Amino acid sequence: MSTIARSGEKADVKLANIIVVALLGAALIFVAGLAQSETLHDAAHDVRHAVGFPCH
């Protein structure tokens, strides 16, 4: 677990952490916006239209 400070600056955020956060974000967007499950689609219907996701 080495998070090394770079030349006295702030410590870098580990790439693995960044990837976890990005994947979590992508998963949320997929479920809310793109997944074509009937139930999800009906529940998120208005939002998908309003946010401009491809909907029916």
Partner 1 sequence: MTPPMMCVTRSDSPATDMLQRLLTSALIAGAAVGLIAALLQLVFVQPVLLHAELYEGGERTHFVAPSGPDHGAEADPDATAPADQGHAAPVPQDNGSAAGAPGIGFDAPRDGLSILFTIMVYAGYGLMLVAAMAFAENNGQKITARQGLIWGIAGFAAVQMAPAFGLAPGMPGMAAADTTTRAVWWVATVVASTIGFWLIAFGRNWVAFAAAIALVAAPHLIGAPQPSAYAGPTPPELAAQFAGRAIGVGLVSWTILGLFAAWLWSRSREA
CB of 8 to partner 1, least distance (A): 14
Neighbours of 5 (CB within 10 A): 9
User: Does residue number 11 form part of the binding site for partner 1 (CB under 8 A)?
Assistant: yes
- Distance from C-alpha of 46 to C-alpha of 36, rounded to nearest angstrom: 14
Q: Which is closer to partner 1, CB of 1 or CB of 8? A: 1
37 makes contact with partner 1 (CB under 8 A): no
Q: Could you give the C-alpha distances from 46 to 4, 18, 34, in angstroms and in order?
A: 46, 31, 13
Which residues in this chain contact partner 1 in the complex, by CB under 8 A? Answer: 1, 3, 10-22, 24-29, 31-34, 36, 43-47, 49-56
